[in-house]
Amino acid sequence: MAQAKVNKLHEKLQLKEFKLTSLLEITKAINENYSIDRILNIYEYILREQLGITKLMLYSQQDEWICLLKYGVRGEARKVDVISDLKHIKEITVIESSSVSSLNSFDVVIPVYHKDNPLAYLLIGDLNEDEIRISPTIKHMPFIQTLTNIIIVAIENKRLAKVSLEQEVAKKELELASQMQALLFPQNLPSNNRLDVAAKYETKQMVGGDYYDFFKLNNEEYCLCIADVSGKGVSAALIMSNFQAHLRAHIKHHQKLTIDEMIHQLNADVMNAADGEKFITFFFAYYNCTEKTLKYCNAGHNHPILTDGKKSILLDQGCIGLGMLDDIPSINVETLPISPQMTLFCYTDGLVELENDDDEAFETERLINIIHENYDLSMADLSETIFEALDDYKGDRDFMDDTAILGCRFF
């Protein structure tokens, strides 16, 4: 009798030592940043070789439920549907007879939860209770659950760390893209006795699809433009950057091009870059200081406002947006006389489509009223005033879209 007690005590000590050694081995593997496959190999060895578990499936919640580890299973066991078959199981469950045929191949289901969220399900079967280190099956379940919990949490942490790293890399790339995009906009807009030009841009995301530019051809001739690409985010920004490069090349190397010729060229450029997937609305204007004339073409863009502070007209002559068709059927270029103190105000649709808490759009008429009421301001101050009005109007809402404004006063 005494010897039996000694043997039983020795058995318990062996079991405790085995469990402690197993936990230390797994912890060491995690701390030394072993790969997931290597950690799973250690886990499988403990359960299969040391605990005698001959049938096992381990499901883990990643972006979807996947089987991380399986052995000794075939047939119906491969047909387990985690969501329908297992998600109702909240604690260690012995399977005696289940209506789900695939579960009848197993003896026990061990769930692993974080708060109320299931992270994993372990299905085990054919436990060998004759091994000296194995007490009755149920006695080992808390240990197996603890071991599985450690493994799953480690794998989840690795996954989250990878996601976090990828997000950080993506964030850095977006920040770089945003910085690069900012360099594409004109850095110094003129404010002198000929012209007062100012602009402001608010992106919905870190990079956007709106664009404005200003070009000094010589002391007498100037060009300005504003554009908006369909869609948002990185793809839109890339299309717009490509467009800007082509536009600047056309202006720099082909100043003899007429506006309608340039529009045809740019349409081809957009078609080649976007392959019909996106289009660009575009307003382009050419101003001659000596002749006091403004030539423009509006390619499907929001109608810019030309005003003297009391009366305003909308510049709507032009053509369809760029990249909508392989060939633009017709292009209208309008020439307008410019009087001193007149102002050209260009904007993208994010401004006039901005909604307030009552789902009412800001609209062009409200913009015109603000311009008239603040006409004595410089273009820079007027731009700030307009954005302040936008902030007040939208209330707690975010900007719905990229929003750009470009104003030019003629003297």
Q: What is the pLDDT of residues 149-187, one digit of tens each?
A: 899 988 888 888 888 888 887 777 677 767 767 777 898
Spatial distance between the Cα atoms of 262 and 264, rounded to a whole number of angstroms: 5
> Residue 341's domain is classified under what CATH number?
3.60.40.10
Whether residue 373 is found in the same domain as residue 256: yes
Of 401, 8, 64, nearest to 231 by C-alpha is 401
Domain encompassing residue 215: 178-410
pLDDT of residue 133: 44
Below-50 pLDDT ranges, the chain: 132-136
167 domain residue, yes or no: no
Among 126, 160, 194, identify where a domain stops: 160
Whether residue 182 is found in the same domain as residue 219: yes
pLDDT of residue 132: 42
165 domain residue, yes or no: no
Whether residue 355 is found in the same domain as residue 394: yes
Within 10 Å of residue 243's Cβ, how many Cβ atoms? 24
pLDDT of residue 31: 84
173 domain residue, yes or no: no
pLDDT of residue 326: 94
pLDDT of residue 115: 82
Whether residue 201 is found in the same domain as residue 129: no
The percent of the chain in helix, strand and coil, each rounded to the nearest 5, is 45, 25, 30
The number of folded domains in the chain is: 2
Furthest-apart CA atoms within the chain: distance in Å: 119
Among 108, 125, 160, identify where a domain stops: 160
Whether residue 351 is found in the same domain as residue 206: yes
pLDDT of residue 378: 97
